[in-house]
Amino acid sequence: MAPKIRHAAPAFTADAVVDGEFKTVSLADYKGKYVVLFFYP
């Protein structure tokens, strides 16, 4: 899938490390904020 410039990212959830603990986060948790996503294989 190619990135779509000036389009909103699709809604998703993911497991993340937040403050040293694993947590399920969603893109909606960061609505109205700038977000940088890092993907590791």
Q: Angle CA(29)–CA(21)–CA(8) in degrees, nearest 5?
A: 25
Residue 7 lies in a domain: yes
Q: Give domain status of residue 8, yes or no.
A: yes
Q: 3 or 27, which is more confident?
A: 27
Any domain includes 40 = no
The answer to the question of residue 21 being in a domain is: yes
Mean pLDDT of 14-38: 91
Asked if pLDDT for residue 40 goes beyond 80, the answer is no
Asked if residue 26 belongs to a domain, the reply is yes
Number of structural domains found in the chain: 1
Residue at 6 is within a domain: yes
DSSP 5-38: TTSPPPP-EEEEEETTEEEEEEGGGGTTS-----
This prediction has a pTM of 0.55
Domain hosting 20: range is: 1-31
